[in-house]
Amino acid sequence: MKVDFHVHSLYSPDSVVDFDSLVRTCKERGIDAVAIMDHDVVEGAFAFAEKAQEMRLEGKWAPRILIGEEVRTKGGEICGLFLKEKVPRHLSPRETMELIRLQGGLVYVPHPFDLLKLKRLKSRELAELSDLIDIIEVFNGKPRFPLANLLARRFVRHHHFLCAAGSDSHEPTKIGTSFVEVEDFNSPQELLSNLEGGRISGKLYCPLDSAFRRLWKVALAEKKKTP
Protein backbone atom coordinates (compact mmCIF):
# COMPACT_ATOMS: atom_id res chain seq x y z
CA MET A 1 0.00 0.00 0.00
CA LYS A 2 1.02 3.60 -0.56
CA VAL A 3 1.18 5.81 2.53
CA ASP A 4 1.78 9.57 2.72
CA PHE A 5 3.00 9.99 6.28
CA HIS A 6 2.70 13.76 6.59
CA VAL A 7 -0.50 15.60 5.66
CA HIS A 8 -2.13 18.60 7.37
CA SER A 9 -5.90 18.91 7.56
CA LEU A 10 -7.75 22.22 7.84
CA TYR A 11 -7.63 21.77 11.60
CA SER A 12 -4.05 23.02 11.29
CA PRO A 13 -4.34 26.81 11.16
CA ASP A 14 -2.12 26.92 8.06
CA SER A 15 -3.80 24.18 6.01
CA VAL A 16 -6.84 24.17 3.71
CA VAL A 17 -7.10 20.40 3.16
CA ASP A 18 -10.75 19.44 3.67
CA PHE A 19 -12.00 15.88 3.89
CA ASP A 20 -13.59 15.70 0.42
CA SER A 21 -10.49 16.96 -1.39
CA LEU A 22 -8.32 14.58 0.62
CA VAL A 23 -10.44 11.58 -0.42
CA ARG A 24 -10.60 12.72 -4.05
CA THR A 25 -6.84 13.31 -4.33
CA CYS A 26 -5.93 10.03 -2.62
CA LYS A 27 -8.26 8.14 -4.95
CA GLU A 28 -6.84 9.82 -8.06
CA ARG A 29 -3.23 9.18 -6.99
CA GLY A 30 -3.67 5.69 -5.60
CA ILE A 31 -2.75 6.71 -2.04
CA ASP A 32 -4.17 4.10 0.35
CA ALA A 33 -3.43 5.79 3.66
CA VAL A 34 -2.39 9.16 5.05
CA ALA A 35 -1.14 10.23 8.45
CA ILE A 36 -2.80 13.46 9.53
CA MET A 37 -0.04 15.38 11.32
CA ASP A 38 -1.73 18.64 12.32
CA HIS A 39 0.21 21.23 14.29
CA ASP A 40 -0.47 20.68 18.01
CA VAL A 41 -4.01 19.33 17.51
CA VAL A 42 -5.51 15.88 16.96
CA GLU A 43 -9.20 16.77 16.45
CA GLY A 44 -8.81 16.89 12.67
CA ALA A 45 -7.19 13.48 12.49
CA PHE A 46 -9.97 11.93 14.60
CA ALA A 47 -12.71 13.73 12.65
CA PHE A 48 -11.26 12.63 9.28
CA ALA A 49 -10.82 9.04 10.53
CA GLU A 50 -14.44 8.95 11.62
CA LYS A 51 -15.68 10.33 8.30
CA ALA A 52 -13.56 7.80 6.40
CA GLN A 53 -15.03 5.01 8.47
CA GLU A 54 -18.58 6.26 7.76
CA MET A 55 -17.82 6.25 4.02
CA ARG A 56 -16.59 2.67 4.18
CA LEU A 57 -19.74 1.62 6.03
CA GLU A 58 -21.73 3.15 3.16
CA GLY A 59 -19.72 0.97 0.77
CA LYS A 60 -17.65 3.88 -0.57
CA TRP A 61 -13.88 4.06 -0.81
CA ALA A 62 -11.89 6.22 1.59
CA PRO A 63 -8.20 6.25 2.50
CA ARG A 64 -7.08 4.87 5.83
CA ILE A 65 -6.42 7.73 8.23
CA LEU A 66 -3.57 7.37 10.72
CA ILE A 67 -3.92 9.58 13.77
CA GLY A 68 -0.89 11.80 14.25
CA GLU A 69 0.20 15.20 15.52
CA GLU A 70 3.16 17.43 14.71
CA VAL A 71 4.07 18.70 18.16
CA ARG A 72 6.08 21.86 18.73
CA THR A 73 8.68 21.12 21.39
CA LYS A 74 11.43 23.20 22.97
CA GLY A 75 13.81 21.56 20.52
CA GLY A 76 11.79 21.64 17.27
CA GLU A 77 8.92 19.64 15.79
CA ILE A 78 8.32 15.99 16.62
CA CYS A 79 5.45 13.88 15.30
CA GLY A 80 3.48 11.21 17.10
CA LEU A 81 1.80 8.49 15.08
CA PHE A 82 -1.02 6.14 16.17
CA LEU A 83 -1.98 8.57 18.92
CA LYS A 84 -4.95 8.12 21.20
CA GLU A 85 -4.85 11.65 22.59
CA LYS A 86 -3.17 15.00 22.09
CA VAL A 87 0.41 15.51 23.20
CA PRO A 88 0.96 18.96 24.74
CA ARG A 89 3.38 21.36 23.05
CA HIS A 90 6.43 23.20 24.41
CA LEU A 91 7.83 20.25 26.36
CA SER A 92 11.38 19.01 25.92
CA PRO A 93 11.99 16.61 23.00
CA ARG A 94 12.58 13.71 25.39
CA GLU A 95 9.40 14.40 27.41
CA THR A 96 7.39 14.67 24.18
CA MET A 97 8.75 11.38 22.84
CA GLU A 98 8.08 9.64 26.15
CA LEU A 99 4.47 10.86 26.15
CA ILE A 100 4.00 9.58 22.60
CA ARG A 101 5.44 6.19 23.55
CA LEU A 102 3.39 6.08 26.77
CA GLN A 103 0.16 6.03 24.78
CA GLY A 104 1.42 3.34 22.43
CA GLY A 105 2.34 5.74 19.66
CA LEU A 106 5.36 5.85 17.39
CA VAL A 107 7.86 8.70 17.39
CA TYR A 108 8.32 10.12 13.88
CA VAL A 109 10.86 12.88 13.33
CA PRO A 110 9.82 15.16 10.45
CA HIS A 111 12.28 17.03 8.18
CA PRO A 112 15.25 16.57 10.58
CA PHE A 113 17.84 18.30 8.40
CA ASP A 114 15.86 21.31 7.28
CA LEU A 115 18.71 23.52 8.37
CA LEU A 116 16.79 26.74 7.76
CA LYS A 117 14.34 25.91 10.53
CA LEU A 118 15.40 27.82 13.62
CA LYS A 119 14.37 25.10 16.03
CA ARG A 120 15.19 21.55 15.09
CA LEU A 121 16.82 18.50 16.60
CA LYS A 122 20.52 18.50 15.77
CA SER A 123 22.17 15.26 14.68
CA ARG A 124 23.82 14.85 18.08
CA GLU A 125 20.42 15.11 19.78
CA LEU A 126 18.90 12.66 17.31
CA ALA A 127 21.63 10.17 18.14
CA GLU A 128 21.14 10.74 21.88
CA LEU A 129 17.39 10.19 21.56
CA SER A 130 17.74 7.18 19.29
CA ASP A 131 16.24 4.85 21.94
CA LEU A 132 12.97 6.81 21.64
CA ILE A 133 12.86 7.46 17.89
CA ASP A 134 10.99 4.97 15.70
CA ILE A 135 11.00 6.60 12.27
CA ILE A 136 12.88 9.41 10.56
CA GLU A 137 11.36 11.29 7.63
CA VAL A 138 14.01 11.10 4.93
CA PHE A 139 11.85 12.60 2.22
CA ASN A 140 9.79 15.70 2.94
CA GLY A 141 7.95 17.34 0.05
CA LYS A 142 8.94 20.93 0.78
CA PRO A 143 12.18 21.31 2.69
CA ARG A 144 13.33 24.93 2.98
CA PHE A 145 16.94 23.77 2.82
CA PRO A 146 17.52 22.10 -0.58
CA LEU A 147 19.86 19.34 0.65
CA ALA A 148 17.74 18.44 3.69
CA ASN A 149 16.46 15.13 2.34
CA LEU A 150 19.90 14.06 1.17
CA LEU A 151 21.40 14.76 4.60
CA ALA A 152 18.56 12.89 6.30
CA ARG A 153 19.18 9.81 4.16
CA ARG A 154 22.89 9.93 4.89
CA PHE A 155 22.23 10.22 8.62
CA VAL A 156 19.76 7.31 8.60
CA ARG A 157 22.23 5.12 6.72
CA HIS A 158 24.86 5.74 9.40
CA HIS A 159 22.56 5.33 12.38
CA HIS A 160 20.21 2.61 11.10
CA PHE A 161 16.85 4.26 11.73
CA LEU A 162 13.68 3.23 9.94
CA CYS A 163 12.69 5.80 7.37
CA ALA A 164 9.54 7.15 5.77
CA ALA A 165 8.29 9.98 3.56
CA GLY A 166 5.58 12.60 3.69
CA SER A 167 4.38 15.35 1.40
CA ASP A 168 3.83 17.82 4.30
CA SER A 169 0.93 19.08 2.21
CA HIS A 170 -1.10 22.00 3.47
CA GLU A 171 -3.33 22.16 0.41
CA PRO A 172 -4.91 19.42 -1.70
CA THR A 173 -2.73 19.38 -4.83
CA LYS A 174 0.35 18.28 -2.85
CA ILE A 175 -1.22 15.25 -1.12
CA GLY A 176 0.50 12.03 -2.10
CA THR A 177 3.44 13.69 -3.87
CA SER A 178 5.66 11.80 -1.40
CA PHE A 179 4.83 8.36 -0.11
CA VAL A 180 6.14 5.00 1.05
CA GLU A 181 5.13 1.72 -0.57
CA VAL A 182 4.85 -0.71 2.30
CA GLU A 183 3.14 -4.04 3.02
CA ASP A 184 -0.23 -3.65 4.73
CA PHE A 185 -0.09 -3.37 8.54
CA ASN A 186 -2.54 -3.70 11.40
CA SER A 187 -0.56 -2.28 14.29
CA PRO A 188 2.27 0.16 14.99
CA GLN A 189 4.66 -2.77 15.50
CA GLU A 190 3.67 -4.33 12.21
CA LEU A 191 4.22 -1.00 10.44
CA LEU A 192 7.73 -0.83 11.92
CA SER A 193 8.67 -4.28 10.75
CA ASN A 194 7.15 -3.68 7.30
CA LEU A 195 8.97 -0.37 6.91
CA GLU A 196 12.22 -2.36 6.74
CA GLY A 197 11.20 -3.26 3.21
CA GLY A 198 9.45 0.05 2.43
CA ARG A 199 10.08 1.88 -0.83
CA ILE A 200 10.22 5.66 -0.73
CA SER A 201 9.12 7.90 -3.58
CA GLY A 202 8.84 11.63 -3.58
CA LYS A 203 8.62 14.72 -5.71
CA LEU A 204 9.70 18.07 -4.28
CA TYR A 205 7.40 21.03 -4.67
CA CYS A 206 7.88 24.72 -4.13
CA PRO A 207 6.71 25.98 -0.70
CA LEU A 208 5.78 29.30 -2.34
CA ASP A 209 3.48 27.56 -4.82
CA SER A 210 1.83 25.76 -1.92
CA ALA A 211 1.41 29.01 0.05
CA PHE A 212 -0.07 30.80 -2.98
CA ARG A 213 -2.60 28.00 -3.64
CA ARG A 214 -3.54 28.02 0.02
CA LEU A 215 -4.18 31.77 0.05
CA TRP A 216 -6.12 31.48 -3.20
CA LYS A 217 -8.38 28.80 -1.70
CA VAL A 218 -8.96 30.91 1.41
CA ALA A 219 -9.81 33.95 -0.73
CA LEU A 220 -12.30 31.94 -2.81
CA ALA A 221 -13.97 30.61 0.34
CA GLU A 222 -14.22 34.15 1.74
CA LYS A 223 -15.77 35.37 -1.51
CA LYS A 224 -18.39 32.60 -1.37
CA LYS A 225 -19.32 33.70 2.17
CA THR A 226 -19.99 37.35 1.20
CA PRO A 227 -23.59 37.82 0.03
Contact positions toward Zn ion, by CB under 5 A?
70, 168
Nearer to Zn ion by Cβ, of 70 and 171: the residue is 70
DSSP readout, 189-223?
Answer: HHHHHHHTT-EEEE----HHHHHHHHHHHHHHHHH
Shortest Cβ 160–Zn ion spacing (Å): 25
Number of C-beta neighbours around residue 42 at 10 A: 21
The edge-to-edge listing of strands for the beta sheet with 33-36 is 162-166, 135-140, 106-109, 76-81, 64-73, 33-36, 2-7, 178-181, 199-202
Shortest Cβ 221–Zn ion spacing (Å): 22
Residue closest to Zn ion, measured at CB:
168
Contact by Cβ (8 Å): 37, 109: no
Nearer to Zn ion by Cβ, of 32 and 168: the residue is 168
Nearer to Zn ion by Cβ, of 33 and 53: the residue is 33
Shortest Cβ 20–Zn ion spacing (Å): 21
Shortest Cβ 6–Zn ion spacing (Å): 6
Nearer to Zn ion by Cβ, of 2 and 6: the residue is 6
List residues bridging with 137 in a β-sheet: 164
